Amino acid sequence: MIIRRLLVTALTGFIVAVIFAVAIGIADLVLSGQGDRRLMQERITFPAAGVHLSIGDLIMLTAVFLSSLLAWRLSKPRST
């Protein structure tokens, strides 16, 4: 049963990551085309650890984490 929950959680996280990556990419194109700030411009850097994150990365990581957490909670077997 735990394997099914892990599979559902991982698949949900992957699908949400793809959807948000495409949406953030499109939003970044629209915003940069109108002269606004870019979502994919590096904002958080920690070179010693190899970390370079943008606002778009943080949005996507948050969405993936929350959707995976929700999928894990909702796929819990019901006691009868």
pLDDT tens digits, residue range 2-28?
A: 899 999 999 999 999 999 999 999 998
Residue 77 to residues 11, 27, 72, Cα–Cα distance (Å)? 18, 38, 10
pLDDT score at 80 = 59
Give the number of C-alpha atoms closer than 13 A to the C-alpha of residue 55, restricted to the C-beta side: 8
Reported as type and span, the H/E element at residue 69 is: helix 55-74
Say what the pLDDT of residue 77 is. Answer: 82
| Alpha-carbon span 12 to 9, nearest angstrom | 5
pTM score:
0.83
Domain assignments of the chain as residue spans, ordered by start: 36-75
